[in-house]
Amino acid sequence: MDAVNPATGERVDSYDAHTEHEVDDALERASVDFEDWRERPMRDRERLLESVADTLRENEGEYAETMTREMGKPVEQAVAEVEKCALCCDHYAEHASAYLGADHHPSPPGSSAKTVHEPLGPVLAVMPWNFPFWQVFRFAAPSLTAGNVGLLKHASNVPGCALAIESVFRDAGYPEGVFQSLLIPSERVEPVLADDRVRAATVTGSGPAGRAVAATAGDHLKKTVLELGGSDPFVVLDDADVAAAAETGAWARNQNGGQSCIAAKRFVVHTDVYDEFLRRFTDEFESLVVGDPMDDGTDLGPQARPELLSDLHDQVTASVDAGATVVTGGEPLDRAGAFYPPTILTDVPEGCPVDSEETFGPVAAVYEVADESSAVELANDTEFGLGASVWTEDRDRGERVAGRIDAGCVYVNQLVKSDPRVPFGGVNDSGYGRELAGAGIREFVNRKTVWVE
């Protein structure tokens, strides 16, 4: 597996894929170590997670640079990602015991009934490249602390990140089989998931990847959690703080080079504030610095791979051919590396690629609507249902509109984000199940009822 710097096109490093024998050894270690790990007192597992947070903070610069070299995110954003992973570990180190405490139920006199939460076993995590540390830690921190063991199949363009994460857990004192990275291509995921030693799987990634894993897991009756794509609406109502909406909206679309499932992608703006919003929004886009991701002050680095840039530009070109108007951007930058500028399209025809597909890069589609009902209708006009953002100065109105939008999470006067304190996940083609908070740590447990007479 080659790690290629998308800012330069140069190979960073090369890694040997694990052989079938090495994968089998990893599965056996996971199975054996799980039996001891599940018996470790919860407080021991919480203390080890505290050590993981310490390890992350002590080496954040090294981990951030690995991310930046392999997938191109600006290094300042990569440092923030490592810090967020540490905060996630802090959260579960503090709250795991409470999240997994027994639930007691009414029962006849002289008896007791409760539900206890027991780990399932080895869990396969198929993870993407766009947030190569955070996506892994929001699975690993709760799942390992619940007593499961993890097997990471990371994206093939971030093998250095995969091995670095494995080393974080080893350096923090975890047994070898509790968290392991499998350097294997996607076509070798199915036999790993089908193996009897693997008890469940979680996927963050594309719809096709999620469907493939879910189909195999279904054949073997194994639990899955899927966090898939999104085409999040960003609704700006007539009473919104337009300046704040434009500033936050620009970042919600362009953070991480626009390569985020929960990025704002479809900007649905009330006609009364449309012209002002578009003017401010365009100014914000054009002020963003596109450049070397290793430089402080860079807002957008390259797209993670040249073919991803090509796919994104094909979506823009097809949409313009269908009638969309380019306000700013719209052409790959004439420089080495996979750089695409922040791009805004208006007059977006129904059914064109930027309207009906997920755009995984810094491209915003802006729509003008006549009223609140039209805004909600357009926000829901998608096969996805991951997140949404609503902007209004009336908090009650914002909450009411949030209730009408079909999504796994809706933020009022804030960009959509994942936070360890609240559940995260989607509906419809954005997947099922939840990560983070109490809901996330209870996804991969056996909710066992114990009745004592």
Alpha helix segments (H runs only) across 185-270: 189-194, 207-219, 242-254
Clarify whether 227 is annotated catalytic.
Answer: yes
DSSP state of 13: E
Task: List the catalytic residue out of 227, 284, 357, 443.
Answer: 227
The rounded distance, in Å, linking the Cα atoms of 341 and 163 is 32
DSSP state of 7: T
State phi, psi for 125 to the nearest 5 degrees: -115, 115
Helices (H) and strands (E) in the chain, counts: 15, 18
Clarify whether 88 is annotated catalytic.
Answer: no
DSSP state of 181: E
Distance of CA 414 to the CA centre of its chain: 18
Rounded to 10 deg, the angle between the 75-99 and 134-145 helix axes is 20
Task: List the catalytic residue out of 85, 88, 161, 261.
Answer: 261
Would you mind telling me the total number of residues written for the chain in this entry?
453
E-strand stretches of 259-362? 264-270, 325-328, 343-346
- Picking from 125, 129, 122, 149, the residue whose alpha carbon sits closest to that of residue 138 is 125
What region does 253 belong to: left with phi over 0, alpha with psi -120 to 50, or beta? alpha
Count Cβ atoms within 10 A of the Cβ of residue 286 and give its class: 0-12 exposed, 13-18 middle, 19 or more buried.
Answer: middle
Instruction: Give yes or no for a contact between 34 and 121, defined as CB atoms under 8 angstroms apart.
Output: yes
Distance of CA 114 to the CA centre of its chain: 34
Secondary element (H or E) of residue 446? strand 445-452
Instruction: Give yes or no for a contact between 82 and 131, defined as CB atoms under 8 angstroms apart.
Output: no
- Catalytic residue positions? 227, 261
